[in-house]
Amino acid sequence: MILFVMKGERKCHRVNSADTKLDNLKTRSHREILDESGYARSSRLIQDKANLGIKIAMRTCGKLSCLDSNDRMRTGHLHENKEPFNAEPPRQALVSSYVTPTEFFYKRNHGPIPVVDDIERYSVSVVGLIDKPKELCMKDITNLPKYNITATLQCAGNRRTAMSKTRTVKGVGWDVSALGNAIWGGAKLADVLELVGIPKFTSMTPAGGKHVEFVSVDRCKEENGGPYKASIPLIQATNPEADVLLAYEMNGETLNRDHGYPLRVVVPGVIGARSVKWLDSINIDSQVCQGFFMQKDYKMFPPSVNWDNIDWSTRRPQMDFPVQSAICSLEDMNVGRNGKIAIKGYAVSGGGRGIERVDISTDGGKTWKEASRYQKPGMQYIADEEKSDKWAWVLFEAEADVHSNTEIVAKAVDTAANVQPEKVEDIWNLRGILNTSWHRVHVQVRHSSM
């Protein structure tokens, strides 16, 4: 199995809290560090919570993203050779297990990855349209009942590269692996909000709060150096069945820096962009978050909208993910021998809708047969069943007899009978999001000469 697809080398040295001398940095907002490869590293104090004196250091790099606590994965992924750090695993590795090992879980960042190292003094401020704003420390959160929720996180830009072949789109080029399925451990947001006096199933606070905004520690250029942020409706946040988590664990281990240490939001069934990492504060607001990634990005436009006529205010921020599937056992182009080939991949839908069916065609979409589906080994997957993980992907498997050059296609159907659209052209949009068109791979058969 080929696990490593390198697109560029990254060298960084660690800057830990001892090196950065946070206290000295208080007076200087910026300090440059040159590493052995000559790249300018900036170690910046990005936050000093006024009343608590909480310090969070963030590293930024001149040209390359920095390595972090889990250096191993930085060399184990296909990645973009640019900042910020984005990575996805090779297709084959992605579906080799139901739960995606953390090192194979895609990484999507809009700014440099922050270091939050003073965990004793770390806290989440809960502010806004509530009676009593509060600072919650890690203990307050870990003392709440802990839930392990298996949920697939998928970037809205997954499969963007294929969409850009129709017409150019703006955004990071992703193959089919900008998603992963993890077991997230943490407190339910509904329980956390109860700590600040917001009861379960609240759609509006007495002061008029209807949205829960998550504000992070990291800084992005799209926000003009401000923090990454996003919001979800209060009714979703206070519904324990929606399983929105403040997660401090991923796959049974402490969340690592790439994925949001020490605390991140996980909004199951919704595009990855709303699952804010490195949570800094929660703001109860009367309106939807006005941040860049809610208002000027991650919105779905029709194919007729281009950069000259776009009016961002005409569309709502994308939330639920539509039904998606992709074949992972084959690349876009394959040369194989006459005979049987294995077709394996994933299917997933948003909003907690299960996968009802995965159809496979070995003749470019003329005829179809159903693939078998599974989640946990030895347990039959049935969409909608209690035992099935409703927020998680379903892996599928089929076998095909291929005797001539052909196109193999996959399309999934969810429990609401939503089907993936046939053609990418029909759903093309200038930001290249939500490419959920039928996934096609080409197989060229080489007939052996006896």
Ligand X SMILES: Nc1nc2c(c(=O)[nH]1)N[C@H]1C(S)=C(S)[C@@H](COP(=O)(O)O)O[C@H]1N2
Q: Which residues bind Mo ion (CB under 5 A)?
A: 108, 155, 272-273
User: Among candidates 176, 178, 185, which has minimal Cα distance to 153?
Assistant: 178
What does the buried/exposed string (b/e) look like for 376-406 if buried means 16 or more CB atoms within 10 Å of the residue's CB? eeeeebebeeeebbbbbbbbbbbebebeeeb
What is the b/e burial string over 142-175, where b = at least 16 CB atoms within 10 angstroms of the residue's CB? Answer: eebebeebbbbbbbbbbbbbbbbebeebebbbbb
Backbone CA torsion sign across 198, 201, 206, 210: positive
- Stretch near ligand X under the rule CB under 6 A, chosen from 4-12, 124-132, 268-276, 390-398: 268-276
The listed partner (ligand X, Mo ion, none) that binds 216, CB under 5 to 8 Å by sort, is ligand X
Out of 77, 79, 91, 107, the residue judged to bind ligand X by CB under 6 A: 107
For ligand X, the closer of residues 107 and 440 by Cβ is 107
Q: Which is nearer to ligand X, 144 or 215 (CB)?
A: 215
Give the N- to C-terminal CA distance of the chain in Å, as an integer. 28
Residue 17: what are its φ and ψ, rounded to 5°? -60, -30
Q: Which of 20, 43, 202, 216 binds ligand X (CB under 6 A)?
A: 216
Side-by-side strand order, sheet with 394-402 = 324-327, 339-348, 394-402, 372-374
Interface residue with ligand X among 110, 344, 373, 440 (CB under 6 A) is 110
Binding part of the chain for ligand X, among 15-23, 103-111, 377-385, 408-416 by CB under 6 A, reads 103-111
Q: In terms of CB distance, is 242 or 330 closer to ligand X?
A: 242
Please identify, using beta-carbon distances, which residue of 136 and 276 lies nearer to ligand X: 276
User: What is the Cα–Cα distance from 435 to 428, expressed in whole angstroms?
Assistant: 8
Taking CB within 5 to 8 Å according to partner kind, which of ligand X, Mo ion, none is near residue 114? none
Rounded to an integer, what distance in angstroms lies between the CA atom of residue 245 and that of residue 247? 5
Least distance in angstroms from the C-beta of 343 to ligand X: 26
Distance (Å, whole) CA 369 – CA 362: 9
Whole-number Å distance between alpha carbons of 441 and 364: 9
83 is a contact residue toward ligand X (CB under 6 A): no
One of 122, 278, 321, 346 touching ligand X (CB under 6 A): 278
Shortest Cβ 99–ligand X spacing (Å): 14
For position 155 contacting ligand X by CB under 6 A, the verdict is yes
In angstroms, what is the minimal distance from the CB of 140 to ligand X? 21
Integer angstrom CA distances of residue 239 from 83, 191, 404: 37, 9, 52
User: Closest separation between CB of residue 3 and Mo ion, Å?
Assistant: 23
**Separation between Cα atoms, residue 145 and residue 49, nearest integer Å:** 28
Long-range contacts: 367-370, Cβ < 8 Å, 24+? 369/398, 370/398
Q: Which does 411 bind (CB under 5 to 8 A by kind): Mo ion, ligand X, none?
A: none
Q: Give least dist CB 273 to Mo ion, A.
A: 5
By CB under 6 A, is residue 259 in contact with ligand X?
yes
| H/E element, 138 | helix 138-142
Cβ-closest residue to ligand X?
272
**Does 431 engage in binding with ligand X (CB under 6 A)?**
no
**CB-nearer residue toward Mo ion: 112 or 272:** 272
Among 277, 299, 344, 411, binds ligand X (CB under 6 A): 277
What is the Cα–Cα distance from 20 to 54, expressed in whole angstroms?
15
Minimal distance, residue 27 CB to Mo ion, in Å: 36
- Nearer to ligand X by C-beta: 56 or 402? 56
Q: Which does 85 bind (CB under 5 to 8 A by kind): Mo ion, ligand X, none?
A: none
Structure tokens at 82: 């640019």
Smallest gap from residue 374 Cβ to Mo ion (A): 27
CB of 130 to ligand X, least distance (A): 23
The span from the CA of 264 to the CA of 192, in Å, is 13
Of the listed pieces 49-57, 99-107, 377-385, 414-422, which binds ligand X according to CB under 6 A?
A: 99-107
Does residue 12 touch ligand X according to CB under 6 A?
no
What CA–CA distance (Å, rounded) separates 283 from 94? 35
Does 153 bind ligand X (CB under 6 A)? Our answer is: yes
Measured between alpha carbons, how far is 444 from 201 in angstroms, rounded to an integer?
55
Beta-sheet pairing, 333-337 with 439-446: parallel
SS3 category, 18: helix
The encoded tokens of residue 411 equal 């399309």
What three-state secondary structure class fits 263?
A: coil
Q: Which does 162 bind (CB under 5 to 8 A by kind): ligand X, Mo ion, none?
A: none
Distance in Å, CB of 250 to Mo ion, minimum = 17
Q: Which of 106, 174, 321, 381 binds ligand X (CB under 6 A)?
A: 106
Residues near ligand X (CB under 6 A) are 105-110, 153, 155, 216, 218, 228, 259, 272-273, 275-278
